[in-house]
Amino acid sequence: MQFAIAIPTDADSWRVVRRAEELGFARAWFYDTQMLSADPFVAMAAAAIKTTKIRLGTGVLIPSNRIAPVTANAFASLNKLAPGRIDFGVGTGFTGRRAMGLGAVKLADMEEYVRIVMALLRGETVEAEIERKKRLIRLLNPELGLINTRDPIAL
Partner 1 sequence: MTAKLGAGWIATASDIEGAVAAMTDMQERRRAAGRETEPIDAVVLTGGAILEEGEPADSPRAIAQAGPRAAMLLHRAADAALAGLPMMAPMPPSVAETVAGYVELARKFTPQGAHYLENHRGHLMFVKPEERPFVTAELIRRTTYTATERELRERFAALAEAGYSEIAVQIVPGQEHAIEDWGRIRRAFA
Measure the CA–CA gap between 136 and 124, rounded to whole angstroms.
10
Residues in 28-67 that interact with partner 1 by CB under 8 A: 29, 31, 33, 35-37, 59-60
Respond yes or no on whether the N-terminal peptide bond of residue 60 is cis (omega within 30° of 0): yes
User: What is the distance between the alpha carbons of residues 86 and 39, in angstroms, rounded to a whole number?
Assistant: 16
The binding track of 85-124 with respect to partner 1, each residue x by CB under 8 A or -, is --x-x-x--xx--xxxx-x---x--xx--x----------
Gap between the Cα atoms of 155 and 136, Å rounded: 23
Interface ranges with partner 1 (CB under 8 A):
1-8, 10, 15-16, 19-20, 23-27, 29, 31, 33, 35-37, 59-60, 87, 89, 91, 94-95, 98-101, 103, 107, 110-111, 114, 154-155
